[in-house]
Amino acid sequence: MWIYEKKLEYPVRVDTCNPTLAAMILEQFGGADGELSAGIRYLTQRWTMPTGQAKGILTDIGTEELAHWEIIGTIVYKLVKDAPINKIKGTPFEANYANRGKALFPQNAAGVPWTATFIQSKEDPIANLYEDMAAEQKARATYENLIKLSDDPGVNEALRFLREREVVHFQRFGETLEIIKDYQNRKKHY
């Protein structure tokens, strides 16, 4: 179904070893408004979209969100991979380390595991698209908060890229909403 190119959509450069920042960025790895939730939400909702164009947009954006999940995972891992234990102790990443070492797990910044209850999918395409637009705005806001928390220039570049993609996705969902409204208002001939 997909052709996988073995490179990230955006190159990740991490300039520091920072387990505290890694723990905060886990919010976008496994949080309710993170990349995993978005990808699964859109790929699930696509089946009830009434037009091929709308299905295609949800498939494209859902797939891109999974690519963003890979970027986030890379950032988190690079922030901790060379961290000695004394740099992990006393940080929010310490709880993750106690259970998993430096391995990543889909969880939010507070350590709450990812759950399917983070996503919504209704038969109503209008409801889904408004949900999707809200999700993109919440993710954008989270990226803005993470940028404020980060003092790593390389991480900030990647986070800015991801924040801008949220804006583009919001716009695409807005366009799709108008397409679906037009489709639903058209007179049907049988």
What span, in angstroms and rounded, lies between the C-alpha atoms of 188 and 4? 40
Say what the pLDDT of residue 2 is. 65
The domain containing residue 54 runs over which residues? 19-107+122-185
What span, in angstroms and rounded, lies between the C-alpha atoms of 184 and 36? 30
Q: How many domains does the chain have?
A: 1
Q: Is residue 2 part of a domain?
A: no
Residue 109: which of 152, 167, 51, 150 has the closest Cα? 150
Q: Is residue 116 part of a domain?
A: no
Q: Is residue 70 part of a domain?
A: yes
Say what the pLDDT of residue 76 is. 98
Say what the pLDDT of residue 1 is. 62
Instruction: Give counts: helices (H), strands (E), the chain.
Output: 7, 0
Block means of pLDDT (10 residues each) for the chain, 190 residues, are: 81 97 98 97 97 97 97 98 97 96 97 95 97 98 98 98 98 98 84
Q: Is residue 6 part of a domain?
A: no
Q: Is residue 161 part of a domain?
A: yes
CATH of the domain at 99: 1.20.1260.10
Structure tokens at 167: 């804006």
What's the pTM? 0.94
- Burial of 187: CB neighbours in 10 Å, binned 0-12, 13-18, 19+: exposed
Q: Is residue 62 part of a domain?
A: yes
Residue 69: which of 42, 100, 102 has the closest Cα? 42
What span, in angstroms and rounded, lies between the C-alpha atoms of 137 and 145? 12
Say what the pLDDT of residue 6 is. 83
Q: Is residue 162 part of a domain?
A: yes
Q: Is residue 130 part of a domain?
A: yes
